[in-house]
A and B are shown apart, each in its own frame.
Chain A
């Protein structure tokens, strides 16, 4: 018995769950962003592992596209956080309750 594709997939599931827990538990917007990055990276791991398993390379191309979109998302997200910080002097998501009715 050697390393199988299931190990990589279960590891990616663990990373994804940790990232989801981070988004739910943390209330600093930057750390929530980091948790989202963890989740995106775990999905990339799934893409690459399954592409290895199926003998295709389309999964690696998909992982590259995910990375590009993640970079764009970080850029815009951090700009939004900076804009909110200029407005509220805080990166705490609990204080951003203007939409509450």
Chain B
């Protein structure tokens, strides 16, 4: 690691990575630490948007736009509806988190997990450069899904149908129309 800082800043890919990593990490951090549940959801949008842009910068355009559509479009709306229905405490409420005697060991545990995983990853993958902006053709993904992965694809559609029916069955009121 004898690369000078000036060399490092000459690379466009490094800039793009840093500019995308900062909102992704900050959004995740505020999602976990915010005392306002609506803000938590909105910071989750920031984090997922950063991750989607990171998928785009890796050339995985289809995955990136699917994140935008499925997560930011659908899942976030589901969360907002969930907040509305459960009448979650709006405004600054500290009781969204556990007491500090639970928080400290939990933070320590996840920090040590990060250190362990990051250490292992750096040890295993160091100095293998990738081509960040080279796009993957979406037709290749389609060919793969509908040839080798066609059975998992069909199974996943059954899973989605089951989840749809299960969601309706769980959330409907049992009084009135009979079970």
Contact = CB atoms under 8 A, between A and B. Distances in A.
A53 B60 contact: no
B129 interface: yes
B91 to A, nearest CB: 13
Identify which of B11, B25, B140, B163 gathers the most chain A CB atoms within 10 Å of its CB: B163
Contacts of A79: 166-171
Interface string B5-40: 001100101101100010011001101100001001
Identify which of B7, B106, B173 gathers the most chain A CB atoms within 10 Å of its CB: B106
A69 B160 CA distance: 8
Interface residues of A, number: 71
Nearest to B157: A68
The range of chain B's interface size is 35 or more
A37 B44 contact: yes
B28 A72 contact: no
A11 B24 contact: yes
A6 B159 contact: no
Given A3-B17, A61-B144, A85-B86, A16 B44 contact: no
Interface in B80-131: 81-83, 85-88, 95-98, 102-103, 106-107, 109-111, 113-114, 117-118, 121-122, 125-131
20 contacts: A2-B14, A4-B127, A5-B129, A6-B127, A8-B58, A13-B114, A15-B47, A16-B114, A21-B107, A24-B110, A31-B31, A34-B44, A34-B79, A35-B31, A61-B145, A65-B156, A68-B159, A71-B163, A75-B78, A78-B171
Interface of A: 1-11, 13-22, 24-31, 33-35, 37-38, 41-42, 44-45, 48-49, 51-53, 57-58, 60-61, 63-65, 67-76, 78-83, 85-86, 91-92, 94
